[in-house]
Structure 1
């Protein structure tokens, strides 16, 4: 499906992207702690909301 060159490029790109993201996160970790202090609550609320929508869908499908 993919040529060997495409697979090598994808692997190299993934490694370089992961390294760049780790570097950028470590550089800004102090700012993240300051400005995004309660962001995990929003993530939990979003997951609960999606779960409720799923339960409603299953309930009304019957």
Structure 2
């Protein structure tokens, strides 16, 4: 299905991409702490809303 070259490229790309993402995140860590305080609350509300939709779907299905 995939050649050895394609697998090598995919592995190389993933390693370089993850390394770059870690580097950029660490570089901007001070800005993240300053401007994105409390963003976990938005994530929790969003996940709660999705869970509510699933519960409504299961409840109405019965």
Q: Deviations over 1:20-58 (max 9, x none)?
A: 000000000000000000100001111100000000011
Q: TM-score, normalised by structure 2?
A: 0.96
Q: Which runs of 5+ in 2 are unaligned?
A: none
Please state whether the residue corresponding to 1:37 is helix, strand or coil: coil
What is the TM-score of this pair, normalised by structure 1? 0.96
Cα distance, 1:17 vs. partner? 0.3
- Backbone CA RMSD of aligned residues: 0.6
User: What is the alpha-carbon distance in structure 2 between the residues aligned to residue 13 and residue 54 of structure 1?
Assistant: 36
1:49 maps to what in 2? 49
What is the number of residues matched between the two proteins? 62
